[in-house]
Amino acid sequence: MIEASRDYPVVLTTSVIRSTHQGESHGGAYLVDLSDGHVQQLIDWNEPGIDWGGRGIDRGLRGIAFYEDYVYLAASEELLVYDKEFKLLERLRNGYMKHVHEICRGGDSLYLSSTGFDSILELDLRSGEFVNAYFMGVDVTRGGLRFGPYDPRRPGGARKGDTVHLNMVHYQDCGIYASGLGLTCIACIRDGQLSNYASIPDRTHNSRPYRDRVLLNETSGDRLSLYERSGEFVMGTPVPRYPKSDLKMRQLPEDHARQGFARGLCIADNGLIVGGSSPSTLSVYEPENLELLKSVNLTMDVRNAIHGLEIWPY
């Protein structure tokens, strides 16, 4: 077992502040040293020109990726490019970006889960152009799941719609792994072909291959969980919870904001697992048995939920 007193990583995390109103901060980016609990807020996100309806919608900052000396952060309809000191360098857009959630890098490509178009988009990081896209959603005419590639530079590739809440993309071993709240599988895209990698429960976040099993945030169960690829449950650990009296904005109904919402997941070089939950809390887990080693809380505002989470590489 890894000792609880050593080798904790520094992570970059983003948050979505649910049920906020125009004029209020609705997200941010934070650098967190999990060894000593030091938190540095790098960005206070208050973009006024977004859709303020519903709980999350366009609010906050989401997926995180790194390439060379650049930091990429996803907002709902744009990709923000920063340098290591968090100076904003560029804002990239594409007509098929809507409610972007997780992003990930694979080689010289960046993959984005565009939830509002049931799509995975591919950005060529060398040219800065969106070069490929894959639709994966419900066929509104025939029913069932439909999959197909399209050109994100041309109109008519995919219709706007969120039929499976495609919220996760992960690149590994030359494959693109995708999942969503409305899917009970992790799909793998390789050489333009779709296959079923693993069965998972519905209503998950951050589902990814892990030691020939599947590691995921089981959002419906408020826990970090490990499953066999067959869909058989192996083990799980509940995310931290706090006395209700300690929570800020606790008067909100749970369908607007609640504690225990598990989202955000990354793995350190030494194997330690880091997961996120609400109110914005980062937890470190032992890789062999998912034992909770420590947690760092950023805020007790129950609306503030971790979203993107990556090991800081610089």
Q: What percent of the chain has pLDDT over 90?
A: 74
> Sign (positive/negative) of CA torsion 282, 284, 287, 289?
negative
Helix (H, G, I), strand (E, B) or coil at 221: helix
Confidence grade of residue 140 (pLDDT, cut at 50, 70, 90): confident
pLDDT in tens, 182-229: 999 999 999 999 999 999 998 899 999 999 999 999 988 999 999 999
Q: Which two tokens stand for residue 186?
A: 């992790």
Could you give the angle at the alpha carbon of 306 between the alpha carbons of 265 and 114, nearest 5°? 75
Domains, the chain: 49-265 (2.40.128.630)
Instruction: Indicate the pairing of strand 193-199 with strand 204-210.
Output: unpaired
Tokens at 226, concatenated: 């490990």
CA distances from 6 to 35, 36, 288, 294 (A): 7, 10, 17, 11
Higher model confidence: residue 50 or residue 12? 12
Give the pLDDT of residue 1.
Answer: 39
How confident is the model at residue 252, as a pLDDT? Answer: 59
Predicted local distance difference test score (pLDDT) of residue 151: 98
pLDDT more than 70, % of the chain: 88
Q: Taking 50 as the threshold, does the pLDDT of residue 45 lie above it? A: yes
State the CB neighbour count (10 A cutoff) for residue 228: 13
CA pair distance 9, 116, nearest whole angstrom: 33
> Is 115 strand, coil or helix?
helix
Q: What is the pTM of this model?
A: 0.90
pLDDT of residue 145: 85
Instruction: Using alpha carbons, select from 88, 87, 90, 133 the residue that is nearest to residue 110.
Output: 133
| Strand, helix or coil for residue 161 | coil
Assess contact for 27 and 20: CB atoms under 8 A.
no
Q: How far apart are CA 105 and CA 208, in angstroms?
A: 14
Cβ pair 169, 176 in contact under 8 A: yes
- Cis-peptide into 209, omega within 30 deg: no
Q: CA separation (Å) from 235 to 62, 222, 229, 285, 306?
A: 27, 13, 13, 13, 23
CA distance 235 to 264: 18
Nearby residues of 175 by Cβ (< 8 Å), 6 or more positions away: 188, 189, 190, 197
Contact 216, 170 (CB under 8 A): no
Concatenating the DSSP letter of every residue in 30-60 gives EEEETTT--EEEEEEE--SSS---SSSTT-S
- The yes-or-no verdict on residue 60 having pLDDT over 80 is no
Q: How do residues 236-264 score in pLDDT, each as one tens digit?
A: 999 999 998 888 876 655 555 688 999 99
CA distances (Å), origin 299, targets 11, 42, 121, 276: 16, 15, 33, 12
